Amino acid sequence: MSTNAINATLKQFALQAQAAPQGSLQRRVALDHLIRTLQGCKLLYRPPRNRFPQLYEEVCDEAMQRLFEHICRKIDQYNPKYEVTQWVNFLLKRCFFPQAWKALLSDHLPLKEWDQPDSESPSLVEQIIEYIKTDPEQCLSSVQVRSRPDITFQSLALEILAGYKWREIEAKLSSPISTMCSFYRGHLKQFAPQIQAHIQDNPPS
């Protein structure tokens, strides 16, 4: 598409969005089309690469995201006297690239903690795994799939905890997904609060 055609399309979406009330179906559809067209249009401002040598791609992504948020919330501020690309490029250059850069710089510092594994006490996940494995209240292994006493809530939970998909569990246990899944989900609703309460009452020592 030519630049003129893209600008015309963008303006059309922007005007459609402005004409529809906030939160309406028409506005959402027009905004969705508007930002998707913008993202693909190759007419958007990008700072010279040497301005942000380390984080260039990330700064660009961040600025675009901020732009999309602004467009979706403030489309009423768009003045149709100008092209959408003029409006948007002004915002990118003057506001969102500087903001994105600033945000990423400040964002970088606390991330060091990410790498630290959770230190002393076992995490909630570990406590759940422990509960499923040991069945301290003797309830998980007592509920069984009808006609298949070997398939208990506990045995299914262990499969799920290991990351097996239902399809794989079906193949492994030769029992239909629908039967096992409705059995499991039904009891999960019942056991989840119980497991939660048990973990709260028995903090790891």
Question: What's the rounded Cα separation, in Å, for the pair 43 and 39?
Answer: 9
Q: Which CB, 65 or 142, lies closer to other proteins? A: 65
Exposed/middle/buried for 197, CB within 10 Å: 0-12, 13-18, 19+? Answer: exposed
Q: Which of 75, 152, 157, 175 forms a contact with other proteins (CB under 8 A)?
A: 157
Task: Give the angle 83-87-91 at the CA atoms, nearest 5°.
Answer: 160
Minimum separation from the CB atom of position 150 to other proteins (A)? 20
Query: Which amino acid, residue 159?
Result: E
- Closest to other proteins by CB, 44 vs 144, is 44
The separation between the first and the last C-alpha atoms of the chain, rounded to the nearest angstrom, is 66
Which residue type sits at 35? I
Among 135, 179, 196, 198, binds other proteins (CB under 8 A): 196
Residues 162-191 as x/- pattern, contact with other proteins by CB under 8 A: xxxxxx---------xx--x---x--x---
Among residue numbers 42 through 101, which ones bind other proteins (CB under 8 A)?
43-48, 50-52, 57-58, 61-62, 64-65, 68-70, 72-74, 77, 79, 81-82, 85-87, 89-91, 93-95, 98-99, 101
110 contact partners, CB below 8 Å, separation of at least 6: none
